[in-house]
Structure 1
Amino acid sequence: MKLNSIFFYIVLSILIMPFQSNINGYDKNGINIDEQLGKYIPLNVKFVNSMGKEIVLKDLFNDKPVVFAFVYYKCPGICTPLMTELAEVINKSTLEPGIDYRVVVLSMDERETPKIAAAKKKEILNLIDKKIAPDSWEFLTGSYNNIKKIADATGFHFKREGTQFIHTTSVMFLTRDGKLSRYLYPRYRKSSGFSILPFSFKLAVIDATKGNIIPSVGKLLAFCFSYDPQGRTYVFDILKVAGASTILTVGLVILILVRKKKST
């Protein structure tokens, strides 16, 4: 192998190093999302909806894709802003819930009840300007074991801390047969909450409808922002960004020197 080729692979390795530890949304608190694109979640798992009715997950996966997120209804931090933004993007999107897709949120807290889920559902659905069928957005609760099955299948890792949870977040898009098609990482600002682009949302639903598997392109958010369990929010991680920038600069300098040497 030529010398410049060796240097090229060295530089390439250096450039991707800072992203490797965070490629699946990893942060210093060990809370991450380990993407399981192309894999299927178990659909034979039972949960309880906001009406107190026990359902099998496969009943929600029949003729349309599912937009899915882990939350908990008494979350003091990022869960309500996420659901609020989902309601907002539903208002803006030309696609219709209940017709083009179904939304499902699942509480990670096994102690939450259908009554709590019903109260949160009423709060969130009141934010939607469109007239939608109640079953087009399901608010589920369930046992610890069943919640864990879906969390493991989707690669969603969280940790209880007292009465609350340390967790990150993502909106997941699944095909009608339960295959993970895409993970969408909404932008977050403490002052204004989450932001989901209607265009990105629409494309994700369309891809899930077609059964396409789409790699995440918003992973820089997970790299630049870490979840702060004290503030229950995301914070800009300047050390990670500065470190990556330094390594990137060094890599580019090496590449330039190699090319100059070749030209002389």
Structure 2
Amino acid sequence: MITRALLTLLFGAALAVGAQAQVTLPGDFQPLDGQDGQGALPNRLTGAVGITEFLGDQVPTDLTFLDEEGQEVSLATLLDGERPLMVAFVYHNCPMLCSLVLDATANAVAETDLTLGEDYEVLAVSIDPRDTPARADSAKARFVNLAAFGDLDAFHFWTVGEEHEASVQALADAVGFRYAWDARTGEYAHNAANVLLSPTGTVTRYLYGIDFDPKTVKLGLLEASEGTVGNALDRFLITCYEYDEDAQSYSLAVLTVTKIGGGLLLLVFGGLLVYFWRREAKSPDAWADARPAPTP
């Protein structure tokens, strides 16, 4: 498994050799490519690449792709109302960045205590129509070795081919993932980000970068699941956290925790008051029974 320190080092190397994308902040922004040493996007790609978050929007589930065996599959088979889906947009001829994103995805699968296949599924969909199912299957064989836990059949590597190219574009448009082919470099320009979808296809969260914190991934999947994933403690836990847009992670929701704590204190004090009230109500009879009978 590639360590986080090594991932960071490799990502720095990707920038040094001119990788087309970079870790970025959410919102309507442009990625960095590092070609000029300043991390600026070339003018020829300005406006064509970036991510605009469409939280709460529904993605089309009737889109069709090709699985690792070349069979036509529909996105609806994964968005069946049972498990949330983590989506990574990649292409398998990418010089560096896509491998780092997939490494981070595989590491997150291995490190979170949710179970792949049982609690959620992962889709790595290629944005390059030249990618074949055989190439996707070869990439899957490498990356699933990193994800040592869960049902690895739930780690999907889909391609489009020319006949399904519109599907990946439609999916990318639905989640605000803008990418572009740069004819000058012969590469795709794109961002490093995964998208979390609810079991029915609602966009719930974006995970940025090449190192996904296991706690953030777990809480993101719990949030995306809309109550279908995790045990009772997990479902209670997600109510105590809120997503911090600046930190790109979940933090303790102080107000919510305070409300819960206050409610518990009220229950405790209320229970004590009821106990003492009942005890007081019984005490006159108890004293009457305890007094000695009058002497005849």
* 1:164 paired residue number: 187
In the alignment, is the contact (CA less than 8 A) between 1:67 and 1:103 conserved in 2? Answer: yes
Is 1:112–2:137 an aligned residue pair? no
* 1:223 paired residue number: none
* 2:221 paired residue number: 205
Distance in structure 2 (CA, Å) of the matches to 1:107 and 1:218 = 29
Q: Which amino acid letter does the alignment assign opposite residue 216 of structure 2?
A: S
In the alignment, is the contact (CA less than 8 A) between 1:185 and 1:219 conserved in 2? Answer: no
Distance in structure 2 (CA, Å) of the matches to 1:81 and 1:144 = 24
Q: How does 1:236-247 map to 2 (within 5 A)?
A: none
Q: Which one of the candidate residues 43, 60, 63 is aligned to 1:45?
A: 63
Q: How does 1:52-131 map to 2 (within 5 A)?
A: 52-62=70-80, 63-130=82-149
Q: Which one of the candidate residues 137, 149, 152 is aligned to 2:155?
A: 137
2:128 match: secondary structure: coil
- Deviation by residue 1:3-35 (Cα, 9 ceiling, x = unmatched): xxxxxxxxxxxxxxxxxx973233444321011
* 1:25 paired residue number: 29
Distance in structure 1 (CA, Å) of the matches to 2:207 and 2:196 = 8
2:205 match: secondary structure: strand
In the alignment, is the contact (CA less than 8 A) between 2:94 and 2:187 conserved in 1? Answer: yes
Distance in structure 2 (CA, Å) of the matches to 1:182 and 1:134 = 23
Distance in structure 2 (CA, Å) of the matches to 1:120 and 1:218 = 33
- Deviation by residue 1:175-195 (Cα, 9 ceiling, x = unmatched): 000000011112xxxxxxx21
- Deviation by residue 1:32-64 (Cα, 9 ceiling, x = unmatched): 101111001100010011121111110011210
Change (3 A) 1:80 1:198: same
In the alignment, is the contact (CA less than 8 A) between 1:73 and 1:79 conserved in 2? Answer: yes
In the alignment, is the contact (CA less than 8 A) between 2:90 and 2:127 conserved in 1? Answer: yes
- Deviation by residue 1:101-135 (Cα, 9 ceiling, x = unmatched): 000011000111100100000010111222x3332
In the alignment, is the contact (CA less than 8 A) between 2:126 and 2:158 conserved in 1? Answer: yes
Distance in structure 2 (CA, Å) of the matches to 1:34 and 1:196 = 20
* 2:292 paired residue number: none
Distance in structure 1 (CA, Å) of the matches to 2:246 and 2:192 = 13
Q: How far is 1:88 from its partner? A: 1.0
Q: Percent identity?
A: 28
Q: Which amino acid letter does the alignment assign opposite residue 151 of structure 2?
A: A
Q: How far is 1:89 from its partner? A: 1.5
In the alignment, is the contact (CA less than 8 A) between 2:182 and 2:189 conserved in 1? Answer: yes
Unaligned runs of 5+ in 1: 1-20, 187-193, 221-264
Q: Which amino acid letter does the alignment assign opposite residue 184 of structure 1?
A: L
Q: How far is 1:144 from its partner? A: 1.9
1:70 match: secondary structure: strand
Distance in structure 2 (CA, Å) of the matches to 1:22 and 1:114 = 31
1:195 match: secondary structure: coil
Larger of the two Rg values belongs to structure: 2
In the alignment, is the contact (CA less than 8 A) between 1:172 and 1:184 conserved in 2? Answer: yes
Change (3 A) 1:92 1:134: closer
Q: Which amino acid letter does the alignment assign opposite residue 60 of structure 2?
A: P
Change (3 A) 1:201 1:218: farther
2:86 match: secondary structure: strand
In the alignment, is the contact (CA less than 8 A) between 2:196 and 2:204 conserved in 1? Answer: yes
In the alignment, is the contact (CA less than 8 A) between 2:116 and 2:152 conserved in 1? Answer: no
Q: Which amino acid letter does the alignment assign opposite residue 73 of structure 1?
A: H
